[in-house]
Structure 1
Amino acid sequence: MAENTMRAAFPLSTRALFSRIGIAPLLAGLVLILIILAAVCAPLVAPHDPIYQNPIQRLKPPSAEYLLGTDNYGRDLLSRVIWGARVSLLIGLGVTVMAVVIGLAIGLVSGFFRLADAVIMRIMDGLMAMPSVLLAIAIVSLMGASIWTVMAAITIPEIPRVVRLVRSIVLSAREEPYVEAAISMGTSLPRVLWRHLMPNTFAPLTVQATYVCASAILTEAILSFLGAGVSTETPTWGNIMAEARIYFRLKPELIFWPGLALSMCILSINLLGDWARDVLDPRMGKRES
């Protein structure tokens, strides 16, 4: 009786949960949650001020006071890695929202209106022909370095990828009988786009959004490492690694810890994206397996 009661209260056992979702997505979700919590609670979690310089404590090894040691300015490395997660996640989320919203609107128009499609896709092809990092560096150089400028510079190269995805979905969906019936009944074009075509893009866009977020976080780190990102005074994973590269032979852990945090964050987002793809489109997962 007690066993039946426990099964009713907890119908899904731990083993069944792992088998249904998978170990990799669960671990990826756990790691990503920890990174997000650390970023949100950075003022409470970080043991020291990330920008406070104490030259007397420069390049100290790990200790009870400085768990990961200090950098060349005597700043606590752990605190800087924790605060760096804030900037990376903020830029990743902001770029994802802007790229998906703008790309969805342009993709719907391009896929439905044939005359506009020819012009829009040539513009998108031109943007995709430029290396995303070089284009972002050019935009930041012209507009100045700030978080919002970096977000805009990373968003522009990501928009064509979203546009092409939405356009391909709309091109096939607009030939469906229910869309033709809605048009023949006099339904306005904005309503056709909003109610009949846009819902078909939700599942693919959810998966695409995870890849855009991971790509944005990585691109921001590259820009900061090259000195074209946010201000060097702002603790970001890219800035931390850029400042520590001249001390790589002496203190390789100065690059290792922010690099590990960056790698774990991107890997977790990509694994969750693969899991979302398999759940939302099981046929794709079967084809690849």
Structure 2
Amino acid sequence: MSPISSSAPLIGARRLRLWPAHRPGWAIIVAGVCLALIAMAAVLAPWLAPHDPLQMSPASRLQPANDTYWLGSDAYGRDLLSRVLYGARVSLTVGIGSALIAVVIGLPLGILAGFFRGLDAVVMRVMDGLMAIPNVLLAIAIVSLTSANLWTVMAAITIPEIPRVVRLVRSVVLSAREEPYVEAAISLGSSLSTVMWRHLMPNTLAPLIVMATYICASAILTEAILSFLGAGLGTETPTWGNIMSEGRTYFLIKPSLIFWPGLMLSLCILSINLLGDAARDRLDPRLNKRGGER
């Protein structure tokens, strides 16, 4: 066998090991495009919506798709397309806002619980108590005790998500604080705040990014469930859950009232979850190592 032919399999094997680790799958590309389009629709809703989403027209109720109402109208004569576009604004605001608030609150609590053993027992027992209550039931209870507006709904959705962030950060800190560089920083006289925020917190950023994507998707779904059950934002607010809740009465004669908001909700959550999986595969060094060995 010639030297050229003997080296060819090695080059091919090397390409097979490196290519999958850096190649974005078609599903990830489609998910990114879908999420970008939904985000653009949410931001540009005032300019893209052909009608006022709150404007009622009883004479035009339950219209099929036509030149005036591109997706038809609902039982109150409101334009379905406009309401779906404005519903994206509410869903993305709740999802992104809930994820950011959960990370901002859960990150310091998790670092403190993982670094100080005395606080660990207290903080984690509170987190265990919150996790023992189903997310939707806790959110319904919080919304029922307060006025249903965007901030209270976000708070009701965020509180059950905080324990997930705290437990994740705590587990990372418990592992990282035993590393030699952390012990060296402590022995050299570094302050506890420097050790926690300069040496321990960077280790939590990669898993937190992944966790934030799942919290965002979960918050969007929870908001839709609350609105569908009548425990979320007022029915006058165009949200995907409210649109489906109002349309279920007319499902047999006009299924599009549920189909279009349900399709947007499914695409949004699926896209966020796929991007979260991609972020996990990219940021987790163990998965990168296994991908490179294939």
Of 134, 137, 142 in structure 2, the residue corresponding to residue 139 of structure 1 is: 142
**Higher Rg:** 2
Displacement, 1:64? 1.4
Q: Distance in 1 between matches of 2:287 and 2:208?
A: 15
Instruction: Give 1:248's aligned residue.
Output: 251
Displacement, 1:283? 2.5
Displacement, 1:144? 1.5
Instruction: Give 2:64's aligned residue.
Output: 61
Deviations 1:178-222 (A, max 9, x none): 101111111111111110000000110011010000000000000
Instruction: Give 2:155's aligned residue.
Output: 152
Q: Work out the percentage of aligned pairs sharing the same amino acid.
A: 70
Q: Distance in 2 between matches of 1:261 and 1:106?
A: 35
Deviations 1:71-114 (A, max 9, x none): 00000101000000000000111101000111101000000000
Instruction: Give 1:99's aligned residue.
Output: 102
Say which is worse superposed, 273-282 or 130-139, in terms of deviation: 273-282
Instruction: Give 1:193's aligned residue.
Output: 196
Structure 1 runs (4+) deviating above 6 angstroms are: none
Deviations 1:9-59 (A, max 9, x none): xxxxxxx99x71110111100000000000000010011110100011100
Instruction: Give 1:237's aligned residue.
Output: 240
Instruction: Give 1:8's aligned residue.
Output: none
Of 278, 286, 289 in structure 1, the residue corresponding to residue 281 of structure 2 is: 278
**In the alignment, does 2:51 pair up with 1:78?**
no
Deviations 1:139-178 (A, max 9, x none): 0011120000000000000000000000000000000011
Of 190, 213, 230 in structure 2, the residue corresponding to residue 210 of structure 1 is: 213
Instruction: Give 1:126's aligned residue.
Output: 129
Instruction: Give 1:11's aligned residue.
Output: none
Q: Distance in 2 between matches of 1:98 and 1:190?
A: 22
Displacement, 1:282? 4.9
SS at match of 1:21: coil
Instruction: Give 2:183's aligned residue.
Output: 180
**In the alignment, does 2:279 pair up with 1:259?**
no
Instruction: Give 1:38's aligned residue.
Output: 41
Instruction: Give 1:9's aligned residue.
Output: none
* TM-score after normalising by structure 1: 0.92
Q: Distance in 2 between matches of 1:152 and 1:190?
A: 29
Q: Distance in 2 between matches of 1:249 and 1:68?
A: 17
Deviations 1:198-252 (A, max 9, x none): 0000110011010000000000000000111111111000000011111111111
Q: Distance in 2 between matches of 1:245 and 1:207?
A: 34
Displacement, 1:273? 0.3
Say which is worse superposed, 29-38 or 277-286, in terms of deviation: 277-286
SS at match of 2:23: helix
Letter in 2 for 1:77: L
RMSD of Structure 2 on Structure 1 (CA): 1.7
SS at match of 2:31: helix
Gaps of 5+ in 2: 1-18
Q: Distance in 2 between matches of 1:113 and 1:128?
A: 22
Q: How many residues align?
A: 273
